[in-house]
């Protein structure tokens, strides 16, 4: 199974792009962004930021609209679950991981790390 966890990918392969001021994502909130052709949702969970792909790998459900249960997001379409830290599919019917992207804060702005070889 192909992995898409860019959080742990070699950082020389990652390019960071500015996406929003940190003030746009208060604690407990989420932000939807499109980086290139990548739909991404960024969660602020207790002051930590996690970015994952917004489209469920099971059947293209709007994953970013799902409820959070701890470190997991539950797909609103069929209840598949993913770990927001790694993108790992952890609950059926989802079996294929989603991308997880590293997030940095620089100068009050969130920066999202995406792979260079797009
Ligand atoms: S589309 Fe997400 S679990 Fe089916």
Domains of the chain: 11-115 (2.102.10.10)
Cα–Cα distance, 59 to 26 (Å, whole number): 30
The Cβ of residue 54 has, within 10 Å, a number of other Cβ atoms equal to 22
The pLDDT of residue 1 is 44
Give the global pTM.
0.93
The pLDDT of residue 36 is 86
Tens place of pLDDT per residue across the chain (118 aa): 455 899 988 888 899 999 999 999 999 999 999 998 899 999 999 999 999 999 999 999 999 999 999 999 999 999 999 999 999 999 999 999 999 999 999 999 999 999 986 5
With tokens 């997880």, the residue in question is: 100
* For the CA of 60, the nearest atom of ligand 1: 1
Distance 98 CA to ligand 1 centre (A): 12
3-state secondary structure of 50: strand
Distance 18 CA to ligand 1 centre (A): 29
Distance 1 CA to ligand 1 centre (A): 18
Dihedral angle over CA of 36, 41, 46, 48, nearest 10: -20
Tokens of 8: 């742990």
Longest dimension (CA), the chain: 40
Tokens of 96: 């294929």
The pLDDT of residue 2 is 55
């Amino acid at each position: 199974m192909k992995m898409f966890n860019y959080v742990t990918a070699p950082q020389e392969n990652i390019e960071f792009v500015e996406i929003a001021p940190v003030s746009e994502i208060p604690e407990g909130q989420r932000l939807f962004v499109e980086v290139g052709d990548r739909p991404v949702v960024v969660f602020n969970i207790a002051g930590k930021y996690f970015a994952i792909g917004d489209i469920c790998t099971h059947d293209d459900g709007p994953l970013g609209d799902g409820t959070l249960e701890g470190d997991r997001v539950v797909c609103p379409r069929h209840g598949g679950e993913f770990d927001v830290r790694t993108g790992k599919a952890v609950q059926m019917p989802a079996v294929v991981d989603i991308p997880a992207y590293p997030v940095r804060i620089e100068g009050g702005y969130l920066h999202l790390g995406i792979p260079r070889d797009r």
